[in-house]
Amino acid sequence: MQVVLDYLKRNQARFVAELCEFLRFPSVSAQPQHKQDLRACADWLAQHCRQIGLEAKVCPTTGHPIVVAKTKFVKNSRKPHFMVYGHYDIQPPDPLDLWESPPFEPRIAGRSLFARGSTDNKGQHFAHLKAVEAYLKTGTPLPCDLTFVIEGEEEVGSANLAKFLKSHRRELACDAIVVSDTGMPHSDCPALTHALRGIIAFEITLRGPSRDLHSGIFGGAVDNPAMALSQLLGKLRDKNGRIAIPGFYDDVAPLTAYERSELSRLPTNDAELRKLLGVKKLFGERGFTPIEQRSARPTFEINGLTSGYQGEGSKTIVPAWARAKITCRLVPDQNPARIRKVVCNYLKKICPPSVRLEIEAGHGAEAYLVSPKSPQARAALRALHQAFNRKPVLMREGGSIPIVNDFKKVLGADTLLLGLGLPEDNAHSPNEKFDLDCFENGQRMSAFLWQELSRSA
């Protein structure tokens, strides 16, 4: 193992230069004019994988290609098999005038490498590739088989990945999936993210009169849909920040004492958070800390609210309709379809007869949870500890990564989220960067991880 770590240490300068080469491809998946750039980037990546000793292919899809690279499997070796997932596509770099240096000309300042795609996600999965290179180039036997699946459509919804997983189910069947595409709180504070929130989206419309009415002639004798909607929404949350929809919390898995004590170790500060967000006072469900509220508790959020006249000056009308766009963040073990039903039923029940209620369903995704005490999660925590020389923290992520549910459903394996991004990395924003300490420690983490995970399998 020491020879692997020494190799990593010796070759950092070259690794950074190679990562810069990778970052020069403007592989923006959302913009059709970059189609050839994505193809060229995928070809470069596959070629690089071959150079370090992997077998690699570029698999076409109806969108952008998927790069699959694997160690040479020995038949009937009975080694465990792990998969690393990442994406080589990136967000558009706009607005360009806010970049301090061009987004596709990588620039190093101190321990920061600035370029679009550096943290999200090229630098993060490249760290795993370099760890494997260290094993292969030093002739150190890997305790497991490894497959890298690096796609080109993550930033546009991964439309072809689930199909690809299904059609390559046998080849990709594995013991666990490792994804470094999330964050850690600080470069000195490595983290395992073991849970993600799910989501349901929908729109509520209340319809009143067949057209906007003169409020002087008719106002007072008909219900006002904007007022009715405000009252309806007002009934959905109580003053303690609890969602007041019967059945909403029925399946919420409570936080264990272990998790709560782990979450309390995260370096956060309520006053700083208040300042960062520009709010007078934090507000959330009573009985939970802000960190718990943001990651381990479900929410009901009004994302948009529209009705009546929005132009300059006043217009004396009773609007014909009012609409709210809603999303609920869900947590384990809430089922999106069941929560949708619970919410719809309650809205129907409390909607006054003076307006007509319409509900339009939007997208949905399940929450995700790996037990932090599972052998694989423990193995990942050990690898983080050894690589960073710091006790890692356990985290829950408040957002959703729907592909993780596909991994579970199609490949039957859990995903370990070992993010190397920092909060200040500017993912999706101008001046995106990747921390070179996170890059190097990420390589070490990956090197330790295959040992620890194989032992747990």
User: Binding residues for Zn ion, per CB under 5 A?
Assistant: 120
Q: Cβ closer to Zn ion: 120 or 414?
A: 120
Q: Provide, rounded to whole angstroms, the least separation between the CB of residue 88 and Zn ion.
A: 12
* Long-range contact pairs involving 256-265 (C-beta distance under 8 Å, separation at least 24): 258/372, 258/373, 259/296, 259/372, 259/394, 259/396, 260/292, 262/372, 262/393, 262/394, 263/289, 263/291, 263/292, 263/295, 263/296, 263/394, 263/395, 263/396, 264/289, 264/291, 265/393
Calculate the dihedral angle through the C-alpha atoms of 140, 141, 146, 148, rounding to the nearest 10 degrees: 20
Residue 14 CB burial class (10 angstroms; 0-12, 13-18, ≥19): exposed
Q: Cβ closer to Zn ion: 37 or 120?
A: 120
Whether the Cβ atoms of residue 386 and residue 446 lie closer than 8 Å to each other: no
Residue 238 Cα to chain centre, angstroms: 30
Q: Provide, rounded to whole angstroms, the least separation between the CB of residue 396 and Zn ion.
A: 19
Other Cβ atoms less than 10 A from the Cβ of 159: the count is 12
376 conformational bin, left if phi > 0, alpha if psi -120 to 50, beta if neither: alpha
Q: Provide, rounded to whole angstroms, the least separation between the CB of residue 187 and Zn ion.
A: 20
Residue 301 Cα to chain centre, angstroms: 19
Whose CA is closest to 330, among 364, 371, 284, 361? 364
Residue type, 311: G
Q: Cβ closer to Zn ion: 7 or 104?
A: 104
Q: Taking the chain, what is the end-to-end CA distance rounded to the nearest angstrom?
A: 19
Q: Cβ closer to Zn ion: 71 or 193?
A: 193
**Residue with the CB atom nearest Zn ion in the bound state:** 120
For helices 436-456 and 123-137, angle between their N-to-C axes, nearest 10 degrees: 60
Q: Cβ closer to Zn ion: 120 or 262?
A: 120
Whether the Cβ atoms of residue 353 and residue 398 lie closer than 8 Å to each other: no
Q: Provide, rounded to whole angstroms, the least separation between the CB of residue 254 and Zn ion.
A: 31
Cα–Cα dist 276/278, whole Å: 6
Q: Provide, rounded to whole angstroms, the least separation between the CB of residue 42 and Zn ion.
A: 17
Q: Cβ closer to Zn ion: 103 or 332?
A: 103
Q: Cβ closer to Zn ion: 158 or 446?
A: 158
Q: Provide, rounded to whole angstroms, the least separation between the CB of residue 177 and Zn ion.
A: 18
Q: Cβ closer to Zn ion: 18 or 432?
A: 432
Q: Cβ closer to Zn ion: 334 or 400?
A: 400
Q: Provide, rounded to whole angstroms, the least separation between the CB of residue 91 and Zn ion.
A: 6
Q: Provide, rounded to whole angstroms, the least separation between the CB of residue 215 and Zn ion.
A: 47
Q: Provide, rounded to whole angstroms, the least separation between the CB of residue 158 and Zn ion.
A: 11
Residue 438 Cα to chain centre, angstroms: 18
